[in-house]
Structure 1
Amino acid sequence: MKRLALILSLLATPVLAQDSAEAARAAAKALEEASVQLDEAESARDRVRALTRTVQAYEAGLAAMREGLRDAAIRETELSRRLQSQEGEIAQLLGVLSSMGGKAAPAAMLHPQGPVGAARAGMMLASVTPGLTAEAQQLRADLDEVSALRALQQSAAETLQEGLSGVQQARTELSQAVADRTDLPRRFTEDAVKTAILISSTETLEGFASGLSEIADNEVLTNLPPMGDRKGTLELPVQGEILRRAGETDAAGVARPGIVIATHPRALVAAPTAATVRYSGPLLDYGLVTILEPQPDLLFVFAGLDTVYGRAGEVLPEGSPVGLMGGGDGDNPSPSVDGGGAGRTETLYIEVRQGDVPVDPLTWFASDKG
């Protein structure tokens, strides 16, 4: 299948670092499982779940491929510089090997000092030959590796572009599946007038969050899975790296109580746990915002989205898509040799509020990066 072409070519790449290769294998397995789920999906909810896993697997595979290609570019640069610095020695080595490669004429076997000199010269040559052979083998290995790395990078753009086309198609299908989904339970109905009044009358996220209960009509109690034992273990809602932690100032000198995640363009944002959508839409200077309530008096705020899924009052299962980041039609298909954050041009702001008080999101979310 075309969906597997990206990951399979990734797994065949010999220059991938171990971590990248393991990530690629995991992505390939997830992609296969998502494909099976998609084929077996009977309801809109099943299709959304399968397409969400498909997009996430593509994103993981693309990230692993970029990491491997970045390692390949760095390795090629190192080898090329080493070979350039040894040009003189290489020329001498090739000259010696060339002279040794032909058949010696009878006159060449004579030595000015006679048989004793010839014997000594033979002994010296015998002791030097293994070293020359080892240098020649190392040179050949380096040249072969440089050639393989260049061939890999020449084909990388096409392979990455194929993967990007696949993930873009999956995102489009996901958006349609979300629009077709009508079987989610609803906890309340949003009063559009009250929502507009609340937005216009508040100037801070804190003020808006404290008034969320005012926009709900016909609210009913919904039993969601308990959260106490999952504190500190939730996966981040998007694939990326922590750019700023809670309380750290940004370039403008502003410190916020949430964290900022750097992501690739169009990255998928998913619900880290089952939750009620308390609000979804534009808010203040945060752009598009989704606010989830996994339990009473606990809010997860995701701000900076370009597309939002879900409507206020809906109860989302864990892993459900809540939106996409911005950044155009897709990532830059060209691999970069810059740091691990290269290409992560979008930022998602995450704030957690407990009892109407902001807390460090990393007390709820697990992260070994950033």
Structure 2
Amino acid sequence: MIRAGLFALVMLGAAPAAAQDTAAQAGAAADRLAAASAMLGEAEGARDRVSALTETVRAYEDGLVALRDGLRRAAIRERAIEVELTARRDEIADLLGALQAMSLAPAPVLTLHPSGALGTARAGLIASEVTPALQARAEALRADLEEVAQIRALQDSAIATLEEGLEGAQIARAALSEAISERTDLPRRFTEDPVATALLLASTETLDGFASGLAQIVDAELSTAVPDASAAKGGIALPVQGQVLRGFGQADAAGVARPGLVIAAAPRALVSSPVAATLRFRGELLDYGNVAILEPAAGVLVVLAGLAEVYGETGEILPAGAPVGLMGGEPPGAHEILTESAQGGGVSRPETLYLEVREGDTPVDPATWFALE
């Protein structure tokens, strides 16, 4: 079990301020992971197991991101100190030599001068001025070396926390997938005609054509109220925790431009419905991979492409924040994360989610619906 006080060994009271800040960040991340571990234990008996496990997965993701960020900051600080100490090598050598000489000679001998009493008095005055300066420089050097030692102790202690956090996140994702497969309580807007869906997929050559033909796959309309997220337009959070790599209409390295966003996300990151929406389609589509198409308002489609797993059944009405699927890839191991952090790397985001918003038959800039900052 992850313990909230895992990083107490860095002796915050004795560590320099920068080390205290780094350790405090790591301790806060450990607290998040401990809370996620507790949530995982409680989710099994929760009334809404899917919702509880969704929050658990998010808590693990937040805790792991925070811990990796703390380790990255620690590595950057460690390198900065090492670079500074290397640049001051000659000065440090002189300082150590002076301190060693002072420690070997008896105090009265240090102030004696061959010119007599006057020289001895002057030597005493000089020593009284020089000694505090030497002591201050020695204290600064000691603080730097102590900070490096504290940072390395923190990094060593993080390995167990990372391993438990990664394992807990994997267990939570598996439990979430199982709970969703057993879920039967979501309202439905329509039932799907699987034959019509297969025919539409076989005859479609573009996303435009498929989106315009989605009405054909409906077998029977139900009386369930349709959600409308138009009031939240412009302030909706992205469906996955990540970073926008390419915006609307921006070309990639091959010169291919698509009318949507490309979002970098961590391996196995949870993708959620940003608002209440109808799941209009789920499955493989053209060269987009696994796709989920949501309808948050009448005539508006949100296309999420590039998932490894897609949850839910076509026609279901998903509440805001409901899990839609998982990104692909394999999360890095604890030692790989530590190596990446030591090299100054940030959170690993090798997976990409494609997000497109369509109003009617026309793609629009997702920034008109989503808050990208």
| 1:205 aligned partner, one-letter code | L
| 2:202 aligned partner, one-letter code | S
Q: Secondary structure at the match of 1:198?
A: helix
> Please, what TM-score do these two structures have when normalized by structure 1?
0.89
Equivalent of 1:172, from 165, 171, 174?
174
Cα distance change on mapping 1:18 and 1:217 into 2, 3 Å: farther
The whole-number CA distance in structure 1 between the counterparts of 2:232 and 2:69 is 31
The whole-number CA distance in structure 2 between the counterparts of 1:229 and 1:139 is 59
> Residue 367 of structure 1 aligns with which residue?
372
Equivalent of 1:271, from 245, 270, 273?
273
Q: Secondary structure at the match of 1:277?
A: strand
Deviation of 1:127 after TM superposition, in Å, equals 1.1
The answer on whether the counterparts of 1:23 and 1:60 sit within 8 Å (CA) in structure 2 is no
Q: Secondary structure at the match of 1:294?
A: strand
Equivalent of 1:249, from 240, 248, 251?
251
> Residue 292 of structure 1 aligns with which residue?
294
Equivalent of 1:145, from 147, 158, 165?
147
Of stretches 316-325 and 333-342 in structure 1, the one that deviates more from structure 2 is 333-342
The whole-number CA distance in structure 1 between the counterparts of 2:58 and 2:8 is 18
Deviation of 1:100 after TM superposition, in Å, equals 2.2
Identity %: 54
The whole-number CA distance in structure 2 between the counterparts of 1:26 and 1:294 is 35
Equivalent of 1:183, from 185, 195, 204?
185
Q: Secondary structure at the match of 2:221?
A: coil
Equivalent of 2:360, from 343, 355, 358?
355
The whole-number CA distance in structure 1 between the counterparts of 2:225 and 2:311 is 22
The answer on whether the counterparts of 2:186 and 2:316 sit within 8 Å (CA) in structure 1 is yes
Deviation of 1:135 after TM superposition, in Å, equals 0.5
The whole-number CA distance in structure 2 between the counterparts of 1:274 and 1:30 is 27
> Residue 130 of structure 2 aligns with which residue?
128
Cα distance change on mapping 1:351 and 1:16 into 2, 3 Å: farther
- Gap regions ≥5 residues in structure 1: none
- For the aligned residue pairs, the C-alpha RMSD in angstroms reads 2.6
Cα distance change on mapping 1:99 and 1:209 into 2, 3 Å: same
| 2:371 aligned partner, one-letter code | A
Q: Is 1:331 aligned with 2:326?
A: no
> Residue 15 of structure 2 aligns with which residue?
none
> Please, what TM-score do these two structures have when normalized by structure 2?
0.89
> Residue 64 of structure 1 aligns with which residue?
66
Deviation of 1:188 after TM superposition, in Å, equals 1.2
Cα distance change on mapping 1:296 and 1:71 into 2, 3 Å: same
Q: Secondary structure at the match of 1:218?
A: strand
> Residue 320 of structure 2 aligns with which residue?
318
The whole-number CA distance in structure 1 between the counterparts of 2:353 and 2:297 is 22
The whole-number CA distance in structure 1 between the counterparts of 2:35 and 2:250 is 35
Q: Is 1:344 aligned with 2:345?
A: no
The answer on whether the counterparts of 1:31 and 1:57 sit within 8 Å (CA) in structure 2 is yes
